[in-house]
Amino acid sequence: MAMAKRGDAAPYDRVFEGISALIETGDYRGGEALPPERDLCERFGVSRATLRSALATLTSLGLVEARRGAGTYVSRPRPVEAIHRAKSYSDIVRAAGMTPSSRLIEQRLAPASAVVAEHLSIEVGAPVLQLYRIRLMDARPARIDTTYVNAGLFPGIERFDFGVESLFDIFTSQYGRRPAHRTSKVEICRLGRLEAALLDSNPNRPAFLLTDLVMTETMEVIEWSEMRVLPESCVITNDFSAPGLDATASAPATQTSSDVVDGPAHVRVRTKVLSDIMTGVYPPGSALPGEIELARVFSVSRKTVRKALDTLVEQGFVRRIRGKGTFSLGAFEHGRSRPLGFREREALQHRTAQVRVLGALLRPAGPAYARLLGVEPQDTILRLRRLNISDGEPVGIETVFIPQRLFPRIDRLDFTVFSLYEVYARSGHVVTSSTDTISVVELSTRDARLLHADPGDPALFFSTVGRDSSGTPIEHTISLETGNRAVYEIRT
């Protein structure tokens, strides 16, 4: 890779970063109209086409909204769905200054289907409470929640009205089972006709698909939910340095084999293997014993072992690699885990990672990145744009902004060879925490071509600030992922 060039921010970046910074600092307030296009073009020294391209991205990210015949307005603050901690929907919406409400479409006891039973680690046909709710903000539909509760752990739970009551409150106050751990997954879906009608939206439009498994301190699965969320209705964040679901929650409680003698055989196998993962018997990346060996150890059939492992795969604790076996992904405990770079993540998944550098530029930080990286606007940062490739297929585009004062010779490195996180660590700045913000956007023609996708295809857009152990910002990354790799998972 050639040495990075020196220059100023590109016209598109000047607009995108400039308006973002003015919104962040409150110069442009929520609900206010932006200046006319002619004034913005003059302010940032760009063409109208460049301005409109940047405004389209800001609109996709929910920072501004176009009102037909009235211009472009700054969006009002949206509720923050922080998936690293447990807050009720009502609390999330109220924190944004809005009024929450729910429309209960269905509440009933039903026998667990095979899919529901697998998620909840119960037998097919066991009783579950099924809820189907429309969640509203200021009386406007925002998301559809489908929730399944292991009713065997909560006798009589069907008598509560969950159009009004909070599930988490009932779990804790009425049954003494406190939600303590969570596996969350963020993906992209498209709304069907019924979903679009319920949300007063358009069929086939992209939305968030949030999937949650909620567990007690002993890792009992108590709830599985699927939520279809309008992207403009919330901001999804994750803080790797934050406490988990409950600030008072301890590390996952583990169980010995004597603790799991009751219950179906596959639950006993799952609980013991999970205990071994949590206690480090199977560290991240290590192979579990084969199905035949586990069947012998637990005196069960291979079918029973496979069912137990299926649940652990779904919960995100293990991963199957065809032809190689089943591998531990380790225990996720805040304060003892850390963010991983692209190459590290791919190695953990037993995939081959490659990086293609699309451009490198030394430029002034400007107001937006000065604020994010804790530097002055005139300080030099490296803007590195690269294509991430996994097993020969393009899977994501990253643009990384790095303060040069922390890494004076970083512009001379070949990032097709060296890992960014490796460079940071060798310079004494290991990335130990990060804050991620996730949005849904549509791919531009240029980005779609790089990702072998179609223009307008939905993609997950990530904005991440990585920090070292002293809290010093190391990098700010914006990235795009699409297709079946556009998945974000976290366990707390």
Contact (Cβ atoms closer than 8 angstroms) between residue 431 and residue 474 = yes
Please give the backbone phi and psi of residue 9, each rounded to the nearest 5 degrees, phi first.
-60, 140
432 has a pLDDT exceeding 90: no
Comparing 80-84, 176-180, 473-477, the range with the smallest average pLDDT is: 80-84
pLDDT in tens, 340-378: 778 877 777 778 888 899 999 999 998 889 989 999 999
Last residue of a domain, one of 239, 271, 304: 239
Domain boundary among 328, 357, 388: 328
- CA-to-CA distance for 349 and 313, rounded, in angstroms? 13
Taking only the tens place, the pLDDT of each residue in 128-177 is: 999 999 999 999 999 999 999 999 999 999 999 998 888 988 999 999 99
Residues 11 and 143 in one domain: no
Structural domains in the chain (count):
4
Q: Tell me: do 137 and 269 sit in the same domain.
A: no
Q: Do 284 and 349 share a domain, yes or no? A: no
Has residue 251 been placed in a domain? no
Q: Which two tokens stand for residue 335?
A: 């304060």
86 & 41 share domain: no
Residues 183 and 230 in one domain: yes
Mean pLDDT, range 193-206, rounded to an integer: 94
Q: Do 324 and 364 share a domain, yes or no?
A: no
One-letter amino acid for residue 144 of the chain: I
Alpha-carbon separation of residue 430 from 191, 342, 353, 414, 421 (angstroms) = 41, 15, 21, 19, 7
Write the CATH number for 293: 1.10.10.10
Least confident interval from 21-35, 333-347, 395-409:
333-347
Domain shared by 64 and 103, yes or no: no
> Which residue among 269, 302, 328 closes a domain?
328
In a domain, 156, yes or no: yes
CATH number (domain holding residue 176): 3.40.1410.10
- Within a domain: residue 245? no
32 occurs within a structural domain: yes
Is the same domain home to 70 and 84? no
What does the pLDDT read at residue 336? 36
3-state helix/strand/coil string of 370-393: HHHHCCCCCCEEEEEEEEEEECCE
**Residue 251 reports pLDDT greater than 70:** no
Q: Is residue 33 part of a domain?
A: yes
Over pLDDT 90: what percentage of the chain? 42
CA nearest to 383, candidates 356, 406, 410: 410
**Do 230 and 97 reside in the same domain of the chain?**
yes
Domain of 84 in residue numbering reads as 80-239
- Closest by alpha carbon to 13, among 473, 366, 472? 366
- What three-state secondary structure class fits 332? coil
Q: Is the pLDDT of residue 289 over 90?
A: yes
Q: Do residues 40 and 132 share a domain?
A: no
What is the average pLDDT across 382-388?
93
Instruction: Assess whether 233 and 103 both reside in one domain.
Output: yes
DSSP track, 198-264: HTT--TT-EEEEEEEEEE-TT--EEEEEEEEE-GGG-EEEEETTS--SSTT--SPP---GGGG-SS-
User: Which residues partner with 321 through β-bridges?
Assistant: 325
β strands within 32-191, DSSP E: 64-67, 71-74, 80-82, 100-111, 127-137, 140-150, 181-190
Same domain, 316 and 390: no
Q: What is the pLDDT of residue 245?
A: 39
DSSP state of 318: E
Q: Is 252 contained in some domain?
A: no
